[in-house]
């Protein structure tokens, strides 16, 4: 029989060497005496939505180069005007560029609800619009097509958000075969106050889960009286892609005030959020949409406020109230006096995004 102590030492050496290799592959090991950082979270792709840098007015090629420079995995083009052309030849060249840079492209567009005031009319009917977007997605190798129903005003029409959901479902069913033929799933977003998570699930199930899922926007959750963690628990099983940002929320005399923020600068408990995200959304990328200029009041002590929300679920609303109670007021966005507003906005947007990316890497420990 061999020396048991030698065998134990050999095994310990192998384990230590393997751990060191993993650490070097994804970040430096702590020095002696330092507290070890939380383990890296492998396998979560990191990217961003081009709306985060809208003031720069970059086209798709410039955005791909920036994505590669930032060492990101995913670029979500959330509108169809970001491309110089919709011709197949141009799109194939763009796909080749993305492949050379090692960037996964995701394709998106705007409203497909025929009765929404913000329905996209630049590409024909909603069905024609979706047909074009599906073709672009297929050519660029995007597994998903992000789109939206509308915005908060869609809750105020005759028939409320239920009517708008029904009309959107009809459009989606009309393009079902085209989506399945393209191998692209349509990812409807909870967008700008239009739907709460459970309402979006209703839409997905009515349209057909085999080709429709969710773009989960945790910032828009706060726009519709939801704690982002509640939104995640409900939408998680249906998520195809994401729009990720923080939300600062605090109590005001009329109810609550919300302002979007860079990651780590709002009320969201990101470590808890990410633990649940990993469990509920395996393989789904963390796509940042940092749009910190925007904020709004939710005056829920006003009776009229509730007219567009006839079916809000009390337990979920209570979670949002608790979410707002944790926050402190944040000043509104504005350019300093004497500064060029356009240039300030450009630099602000880029700084907010890059600070959020740094938070993902250094605090949340996301790793390619």
Q: What is the pLDDT of residue 143?
A: 98
At 239-251, the pLDDT tens digits run 999 999 999 999 9
Bridge partner residues of 107 (DSSP) = 77, 145
Higher model confidence: residue 298 or residue 11? 298
The yes-or-no verdict on residue 10 having pLDDT over 70 is no
Place of tokens 């929300």: 309
The domain 41-367 is classified under which CATH number: 3.40.50.300, 3.40.50.2300, 3.20.20.150, 3.30.70.20?
Answer: 3.20.20.150
Q: What is the pLDDT of residue 42?
A: 67
Q: What is the pLDDT of residue 367?
A: 75
Give residue 48's pLDDT band: very low, low, confident or very high (50, 70, 90): very high
DSSP 156-209: SSTTHHHHHHHHHHHHHHHTHHHHHHHT-EEEEE--TTS--HHHHHHHHHHH-T
Q: What is the pLDDT of residue 297?
A: 98
The yes-or-no verdict on residue 178 having pLDDT over 50 is yes
> pTM higher than 0.85 for the full model?
yes
Is residue 42 classed as helix, strand or coil in its secondary structure? Answer: strand
At 295-349, the pLDDT tens digits run 999 999 999 999 999 999 999 999 999 999 999 999 999 999 999 999 999 999 9
Q: Once rounded to an integer, what is the mean pLDDT over residues 197-216?
A: 98
Q: Return the H-helix or E-strand segment holding 111.
A: strand 104-111
Give residue 368's pLDDT band: very low, low, confident or very high (50, 70, 90): low
Q: Once rounded to an integer, what is the mean pLDDT over residues 85-109?
A: 98
The yes-or-no verdict on residue 285 having pLDDT over 50 is yes
Give residue 37's pLDDT band: very low, low, confident or very high (50, 70, 90): low
Q: Are 320 and 226 in contact (CB under 8 A)?
A: yes
The b-or-e profile of 156-179 (16+ CB within 10 A means b, else e) is: eeeebbeebbebbbebbeebeebb
């Amino acid at each position: 029989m061999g020396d048991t102590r030698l065998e134990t030492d050999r095994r310990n050496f192998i384990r230590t060497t393997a751990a060191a290799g993993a650490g070097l592959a994804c970040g430096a090991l702590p020095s002696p005496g330092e507290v070890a950082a939380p383990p890296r979270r492998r396998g979560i792709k990191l990217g961003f939505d081009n709306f985060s840098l809208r003031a720069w007015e970059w086209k798709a090629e410039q955005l791909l180069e920036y994505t590669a420079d930032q060492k990101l995995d995913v670029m979500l083009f959330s509108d169809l005007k970001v491309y110089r052309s919709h011709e197949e030849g141009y799109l194939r060249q763009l796909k080749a560029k993305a492949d050379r840079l090692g960037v996964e492209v995701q394709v998106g567009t705007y409203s497909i609800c025929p009765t929404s005031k913000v329905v996209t009319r630049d590409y024909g009917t909603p069905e024609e619009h979706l047909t074009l977007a599906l073709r672009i997605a297929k050519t660029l190798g995007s597994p998903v097509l992000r789109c939206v129903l509308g915005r908060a005003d869609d809750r105020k029409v005759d028939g409320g958000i239920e009517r708008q959901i029904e009309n959107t479902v009809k459009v989606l069913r009309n393009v079902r075969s085209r989506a399945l033929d393209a191998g692209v799933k349509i990812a409807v977003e909870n967008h700008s106050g239009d739907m709460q998570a459970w309402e979006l699930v209703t839409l997905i199930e009515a349209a057909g889960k085999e080709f429709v899922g969710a773009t989960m926007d945790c910032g828009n959750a706060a726009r519709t009286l939801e704690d982002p963690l509640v939104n995640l628990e409900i939408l998680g099983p249906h998520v195809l892609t994401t729009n990720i940002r923080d939300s600062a929320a605090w109590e005001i005399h009329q109810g609550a005030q919300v302002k979007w923020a860079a990651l780590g600068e709002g009320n969201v408990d990101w470590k808890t959020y990410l633990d649940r995200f990993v469990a509920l959304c395996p393989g789904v990328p963390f796509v940042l949409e940092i749009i910190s200029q925007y904020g709004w009041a939710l005056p829920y002590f006003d009776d009229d406020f509730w007219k567009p929300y006839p079916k809000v679920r009390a337990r979920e609303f209570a979670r949002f109230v608790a979410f707002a109670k944790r926050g402190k007021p944040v000043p509104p966005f504005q350019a300093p006096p004497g500064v060029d507003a356009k240039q300030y906005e450009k630099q602000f947007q880029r700084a907010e995004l890059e600070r959020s990316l740094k938070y993902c890497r250094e605090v949340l420990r996301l790793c390619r």
